[in-house]
Amino acid sequence: MKKSFLFVAGLSLLIAGNASAQGLGNSPYSALGLGELLPSANVTNLGMGGIGVSYASPFYLNSQNPALLARRSRFTIFEVGLLGQQKALSQIRSGEQQTQRDFGGNLSYLALAFPLSSRWNTAISLRPYSYVDYQTKTYGRVPNSIYETELIYSGKGGLNRASISNGVRLGKNIYLGAEASFLFGNITTNSTSRVLINSSEDITVARVNRVNYSDIAVNFGAAWRPNLGKDRALNIGLTFAPRTNLSATETDVFQQQLNGSLVSGDDTLRSNTAARSMVPQQLQFGITYEKNNQLAIGAEVGFQSWSQFRTVTDQPGNLRDGLHTAVGVEYTPKPASTRYRDLITYRAGFQYNQMPYQVDGTQITDINGSLGFSIPVGAYFVNHINLALVGGQRGSLAGSQIRERYFKVALGFSLNDWWFRKTVID
């Protein structure tokens, strides 16, 4: 187990170091709000539509409902997830469809969970929360002149989340949990206006805005698992994350350049000025039917009030409330078998989401389907290599919307072992 842990941890850090500069590729919608929000689901959950508020397997770590940590066995589990994305961005410009293809990849999460007692489990994790990566260019003409203008808008950065979660079991089938997360990171945006005169006389005015974020966010969870008979149960889960006011510091600078050289010193509008932003409250509910670690079928719905979002300058974010719906299924042919192929787990899922983004008054939707499986490895087949494939579309070619057709590949490792055991000599 120690060798596997060191290998997987080293591999994940190596890949993350090489991919961190890329994020998940260009995303024009990441210019809105706090950027492109990344899923909180682990690889196994992604393969079944991202459901996890009401379902937890004893072999994998649940990161969506802290209450379901208490369903973990006596095993300590270490998990790593990697995520890559290929997308095609399309938009109708001047009556013609223009398309750009992009790819990005990054570390999705690192997580460790262990039991504190037969009824209490805890977990620590690190994962990205959002990312910003976009660049757009538009061209025009200075009124009553022969000179053209070039406007460039770009952004980079994102937020990360370090969390500690606890889940406890009350009685036989009631679970409660809480998670505390430290959100931190920065987002830098640039707005550049350039008058194209000639290569030696071009005039450029640039505005650079950088905001550093940091604060504590909490998430509460509950679950109920009534038995429906022999080897059958119903799982009902609920999570609630109250609104979080993020502390921030903002630096806002104007620059004027001639042929790439500063004409004068920076004009600083704000320098490390204290500010606040906000992550709106989120409510999620799910229900799953489970049969003896062999079959699980579930559905979930979530709501987050992004219409209440405010920027660090206390301005509306031009966002709308988000709605998330998902269904998923997981199937293992014969969990108690000793034959290898009977222990491979298969998954499938579907999502329909109303994103918080709106363009020309139309709310953007995201529709995707997923497939996944887990391959048992190691002694007693309690460790797994997990794979999830997600394909979908966000937005359309109507009006000035940007259509994103994407394909995601998520790879994860789940390593289970009995740690922190007191050695007994008989």
Helix, strand, coil % in the chain, rounded to nearest 5: 10, 60, 30
Which amino acid type is present at position 344?
Answer: I
The answer to whether position 423 is within a domain reads: no
Torsion sign (Cα): 240, 174, 349, 113:
positive
pLDDT at 17 over 60: no
The answer to whether position 309 is within a domain reads: yes
Summarize the confidence of residues 147-165 as an average pLDDT. 89
pLDDT value of residue 247: 92
pLDDT value of residue 45: 94
Q: Comparing C-alpha atoms, which of 162, 318, 319, 182 is closest to residue 244? A: 182
Given the structure tokens 């006596």, which residue do they identify? 74
The pLDDT-based confidence of 104 (bands split at 50, 70, 90) is confident
Higher pLDDT, residue 271 or 280: 280
Higher pLDDT, residue 1 or 231: 231
Backbone angles phi, psi at 66, to 5 degrees: -60, -25
pLDDT value of residue 15: 42
N residues, the chain: 426
pLDDT digits (tens, 9 = 90+) for 253-279: 887 776 666 666 667 778 888 888 888
Q: Give the domain CATH number at 210.
A: 2.40.160.60
pLDDT value of residue 421: 58
The answer to whether position 315 is within a domain reads: yes
pLDDT at 221 over 80: yes
Q: What is the pTM of this model?
A: 0.85
The answer to whether position 422 is within a domain reads: no
pLDDT value of residue 56: 84
pLDDT digits (tens, 9 = 90+) for 169-193: 998 899 999 999 999 999 999 888 8
Among 306-320, 385-399, 409-423, the least confident range? 409-423
Q: Which residues contact 134 (CB under 8 A, 6 or more apart)?
A: 26, 27, 28, 30, 31, 153, 154, 155
Summarize the confidence of residues 396-403 as an average pLDDT. 86
Backbone angles phi, psi at 176, to 5 degrees: -130, 150
Q: What is the dihedral of CA 135, 141, 142, 147, to 10 degrees?
A: 100
Summarize the confidence of residues 319-345 as an average pLDDT. 91
The answer to whether position 281 is within a domain reads: yes
Given the structure tokens 């260019």, which residue do they identify? 137
Under a CB-based contact definition with an 8 Å cutoff, are residues 288 and 51 in contact?
yes
Among 130-144, 239-253, 291-305, the least confident range? 130-144
pLDDT at 22 over 50: no
Given the structure tokens 């008054």, which residue do they identify? 361
The answer to whether position 181 is within a domain reads: yes
Q: In total, how many domains does the chain have?
A: 1
383-394 and 362-377: which strand pairing?
antiparallel
Summarize the confidence of residues 15-27 as an average pLDDT. 55
Under a CB-based contact definition with an 8 Å cutoff, are residues 327 and 317 in contact?
no
Instruction: Provide, rounded to the nearest whole percent, the portion of the chain with pLDDT above 70.
Output: 89
Summarize the confidence of residues 28-45 as an average pLDDT. 89
The token pair at 119 is: 């009824």
* CA–CA distance, 390 with 406 (Å, rounded to integer): 8
Higher pLDDT, residue 213 or 317: 213
pLDDT value of residue 424: 58
Backbone angles phi, psi at 391, to 5 degrees: -130, 140
pLDDT at 312 over 70: yes
pLDDT digits (tens, 9 = 90+) for 193-215: 887 776 656 778 888 899 999 99
The pLDDT-based confidence of 420 (bands split at 50, 70, 90) is low
The pLDDT-based confidence of 13 (bands split at 50, 70, 90) is very low
pLDDT value of residue 148: 82
The answer to whether position 426 is within a domain reads: no
Under a CB-based contact definition with an 8 Å cutoff, are residues 135 and 156 in contact?
no
The pLDDT-based confidence of 21 (bands split at 50, 70, 90) is very low
What's the domain range around 342? 2-417
pLDDT value of residue 206: 85
Mean pLDDT score across all residues of the chain:
86
The answer to whether position 153 is within a domain reads: yes
Q: Bridge-partner residues for 325, per DSSP?
A: 301, 352
Under a CB-based contact definition with an 8 Å cutoff, are residues 53 and 65 in contact?
yes
